[in-house]
């Protein structure tokens, strides 16, 4: 049986979803603007990755580039939040509200994996003295 979306109840539900999505989009926009400014202040400090004598140059640069993806995802996300909201694609608005958080989690796990691999390789090298 097909659901009739022209009933007053369905229209009220769609209006409520639109209002909830609008508040979510406003909140995410304000949060990401503030976090973008904070993340931009961290950029000059990224050079301290090479302060450790055991940090390889390629690994340090790869972690720096991955870290720069986090603030880069915020303006992109803000653009797509409001672009999809204007088109009425509310499910995509929710996805783009969560995108910088998902990017942060992904980059955290990749950087941790890279550092773990580096530590295991150094331990292997020290144990077997090639």
Asked which of 40-49, 69-78, 121-130 is least confident by mean pLDDT, the reply is 121-130
Which residue do the tokens 């639109």 mark? Answer: 18
**Statement: residue 93 has pLDDT above 90:** yes
Whether 119 is covered by a domain: the verdict is yes
Whether 91 is covered by a domain: the verdict is yes
pTM across the whole model: 0.75
C-beta separation of 74 from 100 below 8 A: yes
Kindly tell me the sign of the dihedral angle through the C-alpha atoms of 24, 25, 31, 32. Answer: positive
Range of the domain at 62: 8-128
DSSP reduced 3-state for 39: helix
Whether 61 is covered by a domain: the verdict is yes
* Averaged pLDDT, 3-22: 69
Structure tokens of 113? 């994996």
Over residues 105-121, the pLDDT tens digits come to: 999 999 889 888 877 77
Structure tokens of 26? 């406003």
C-beta separation of 94 from 24 below 8 A: yes
Count of domains forming the chain: 1
């Amino acid at each position: 049986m097909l659901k009739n979306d022209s009933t007053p109840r369905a229209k009220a539900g769609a209006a409520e979803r639109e209002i909830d999505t609008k508040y979510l989009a406003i909140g995410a926009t304000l949060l990401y603007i503030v976090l973008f400014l904070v993340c931009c202040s961290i950029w000059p400090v990224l050079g301290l990755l090479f302060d450790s004598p055991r940090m390889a140059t390629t690994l340090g640069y790869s972690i720096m580039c991955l870290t720069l993806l986090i603030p880069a995802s915020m303006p992109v996300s803000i653009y797509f939040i409001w672009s999809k909201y204007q088109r009425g694609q509310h499910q995509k608005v929710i996805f783009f509200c969560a995108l910088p958080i998902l990017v942060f989690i992904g980059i955290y796990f990749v950087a941790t994996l890279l550092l773990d691999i580096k530590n295991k390789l150094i331990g292997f090298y020290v144990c077997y003295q090639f």
